Amino acid sequence: MGQEWGAGVMATDGRRELARRGEDEVADHLVERGLEILCRNYRCPAGELDIVAREGETIVFVEVKARRSRGCGAPAEAVDRRKRARLARVARWFLRERRLEGVACRFDVAGVMVKGDRAVVEWLTDAFSC
């Protein structure tokens, strides 16, 4: 029984490490393309946003999906209707909290394929609207 628990902890740690690596890769990718990172892992009662950035006058909410293989499909395919609705709720919370209602914003999705030391970022701008 103790071994099963340990294996689960390792799997969870591996997913967290993959998620962190994906977010790091995407943040670097965005900065290289001229975006300013406003915050990462923004949390509120409505949920979490992976990355909030600014491109010019536009607030950009970026959902990051990292994968080691395409066995479960492309990373961006994991952002379904329910996930998009949740992201929109969290984004509204973020905008209200910072008194940014009415500011232009968009939702991007960044998929990261990680293989060893190599990572490939696929950035979909304006991936969905709410």
Whether the pLDDT of residue 72 is over 80: the answer is no
Spatial contact of 64 and 77, defined as CB atoms under 8 Å apart: no
Give 80-100 pLDDT, tens digit per residue. 899 999 999 999 999 999 999
Q: Is the pLDDT of residue 1 over 90?
A: no
pLDDT of residue 114: 85
Amino acid at 4: E
Specify the pTM: 0.84
User: How many angstroms separate the most distant Cα atoms in the chain?
Assistant: 54
**CATH classification at residue 99:** 3.40.1350.10
Three-class secondary structure of residue 62 per DSSP = strand
pLDDT in the model for residue 4: 43
- How many other CB atoms sit within 10 Å of the CB of residue 72? 11
Overall number of domains in the chain: 1
Helix (H, G, I), strand (E, B) or coil at 71: coil
Percent of the chain whose pLDDT exceeds 90: 55
Mean pLDDT of 38-64: 97
Boundaries of domain holding 76: 2-128
CB burial readout 82-115, b (16+ within 10 A) else e: eebebbbebbebbbeeeeeeeeebbbbbbbbbbe
Please identify which residue in the block is written with the tokens 């001229």: 34
d(CA 116, CA 127): 28
What confidence tier does 17 reach under pLDDT thresholds 50, 70, 90?
Answer: confident
Instruction: Give residue 75's pLDDT.
Output: 64
**Rounded mean pLDDT, 59-83:** 83
